[in-house]
Each structure stands twice: as C-alpha cells, then as structure tokens.
Structure 1
Amino acid sequence: MGSTNTPGSELVMMTPYLHFTGGDNLFFKSWHPSSRGAIAGASVALLVLAMSERLLFATRRAMDTHWRRSILAPVHSIEGDAKFLRKQGVEVHVHDSSSARRPNNGRRIRTVPPFVLSHDAARGALYSLQALLSYALMLSVMTFQAVYIISVIVGLGLGELLFGRLAGAHL
C-alpha cells in the first residue's frame, strides 16, 4: 500500500497493535480523541452505543414476536371455547359441530407469516439501524485502541444484562 505526498494531503499512520495511547480517529476525521478526558468521553459514548445495539436487538425480537402472534393467532372453535368455559365452571351445551365452525376446515395451519407492508417495513428499518450500530462498533474496535475495545465489550455485556431477557421472550 502506497501513499502520495502531494501538497494538501497528510499522512495518517495507524498503530496496528493494541494500545492505550490517544490520537486515533474515531468514526470521523474531526473526532480525534487524544487526551485522557477525550478518550474517556469517547469510551462512554461507545459504551452507550453498544448498549443501544442490544436494546435495538431486543426491540426487534419483541416486535417480531408480537407481529407473528398477531398474524398467526389461532382461530377459536366453538368446541374449544366451550371446553375453556367448562373449565371455568360454566355449563355449556354445544349443538352445532359442523365442519364449517372448526378451525382451518382441514387445511394446513400457516407457519410463515404473510407479507404485511407495515410490519415488514418496520422490521427492515430496525434491522438496518441495528446493522449500522454494529458496523460503527466494529469500526471503533478496528482502531486497536484497547480502551475502546473494552468499552464496546462492557457495553454489549451490560446491554445484554439489561435487555437480553426481552429478546429471549419469543416463545
């Protein structure tokens, strides 16, 4: 890899190993933390960014679950409703048990939700935002600044601690 030394261009060297020194560009050329305070501030920002990525993941999973349940909600049958009411202590007599009243009329039950523009557009937007945050975190790790790497790892861990149970509630 070569570089040109033309007037107006500046040569920026990257430290290709783990280090704790300042001076690395973080996301933008203008964000160049070099003092200890600036590195600490950038680390806090990365910690919050990593936690936000986990929150976004949990939100996306929770919304997916909500949308799936709303679309694939089982059709209640008269017999099923009567059985539920009997368990509640209500006496019920069912006279009509025609196949027209039974769920699915012998058809297969849908397992994949249909395309719903409002659901799928929101799902795509949430995923795109999550991917953006993930790539931003990856770029910060690629500076080899050890404090940034630690901040990202701690932020992801804290985010999972706080929001992970929300993402796991998809049953």
Structure 2
Amino acid sequence: MTMKNYLHFTAGDNLLFQAWHPNSSGAIAGACIGLVLVAFLERWLSATRAGLEHHWHQKALALTANDDSAGKRCEDDAASVKSGFAAGRKTRNVAPFIASQDVSRGVIYAVQALLGYVLMLNAMTFQAAYLISIVLGLGIGEVLFGRMNRF
C-alpha cells in the first residue's frame, strides 16, 4: 500500500516503524492518544527546561557575584593592584561553564528535539487524526505549562 500525500482519515499508515501500523479504528484511536501524550510531554519538557534555565541563571549570577567580591578584595590589596590583576578585570558576558548544568541542558535539549522530530514525522503521514492529536496535545500542554516558560 502506498502512502497518501493528502490529508485523510483512512487507516494503514506506518507510525515511525514498519511494525507500528494501525489498521483499525481502535488502533488509530490508541495511536492518537499516544501522540497527544508525546506532544503534551514535549510542552512539559520545554517548561521544565525553562524553569531549570532560570535556576541555573540564578546560580551563575551568585557564582559570578562571588567572583566579583573576591576581585573587590583584591583591589584593596596594593600588591594586586600593582600587578594589574584587579585593575584589568572585566565583567562576564557569558555564564561560566558548569558541567552539571551544561550537560543537563544538552541532554534535555536533545530529548526535546527528539520529541519534536517524532511529532513531525507522524504529522508527515498526512493522517488527519494524527495531526489533530498532535496539535491538541501541544495546545493542552501549552495551556498547562506555557506560563512557566516566562521568567
């Protein structure tokens, strides 16, 4: 059976894998529920990442403030001023690399990208029920978690 390249509600499209081939209306309904949950999970992960970004930013500011206060103490020391260490100090434009935060950020982003690609590939089947399910899941997720993305 060939894939239809227009919106349709008929059964028979593969979802991601050849083995995942919903042929009945019940199987399509189950696939739609699964797609709603994946879309919902993607929005939750986005909100969680935004909250973590805010938390990490606050920690980086505190770390940078501690570095600045150490630099201020050095300014009071005449020897360090003569060496030019404190006098040439510049403020940071980028937060320092903190492995626990930056590796976590990368993993969360990779999972979020994976979920986005999974949703996109399922939408590309042109099965209208799948597309409606994806949009519905993204909408519900945004209603519940969207406000958490704004800090």
Q: Which residue of 1 aligns with 2:139?
A: 157
Per-residue deviation, residues 26-60 of structure 1 (Å, max 9, x unmatched) = 11111111111111110000000000001111111
Determine if the alignment matches structure 1 residue 48 to structure 2 residue 37: yes
Secondary structure at the residue paired with 2:36? helix
Deviation of 1:108 after TM superposition, in Å, equals 4.3
Whole-Å separation in 1 of the counterparts to 2:65 and 2:45: 32
C-alpha separation between the residues in 1 aligned to 2:12 and 2:149? 37
Runs of at least 4 residues of structure 1 off by over 6 A?
none
* Cα distance, 1:64 vs structure 2: 1.0
The partner residue of 1:35 within 11, 19, 24 is: 24
Letter in 2 for 1:53: E
Residue 18 of structure 1 deviates from its aligned partner by: 0.2
Q: TM-score, normalised by structure 2?
A: 0.82
Between the aligned partners of 1:16 and 1:110, the Cα distance in structure 2 is: 52
Unaligned runs of 5+ in 2: 67-74, 77-85
Query: Where does residue 97 of structure 2 map in the other structure?
Result: 115
Q: Cα deviations across residues 44-93 of structure 1 (Å, max 9, x unaligned)?
A: 000000000011111111111111111113748xxxxxxxxxxxxxxxxx
AA aligned to 1:23 is: G
8 Å contact from structure 1 (residues 16, 144) kept in 2: yes
Contact 1:72 1:110 in 2 (8 A): no
Q: TM-score, normalised by structure 1?
A: 0.72
The amino acid that maps onto 1:141 is: A
Larger-gyration structure (1/2): 1
The amino acid across from 1:54 in the alignment is R
1:108-148 Cα offsets, whole Å, 9 max, x none, are 44332111111110000000000000000000000000000
Q: Which whole-Å CA distance do the structure 2 matches of 1:111 and 1:167 have between them?
A: 23
The residue type paired with residue 139 of structure 1 is L
Shift of 1:150: 0.3
Partners of 1:27 and 1:17 in 2: CA distance: 18
Q: CA RMSD in A?
A: 2.2
Conservation of the 8 A alpha-carbon contact between 1:72 and 1:111:
no
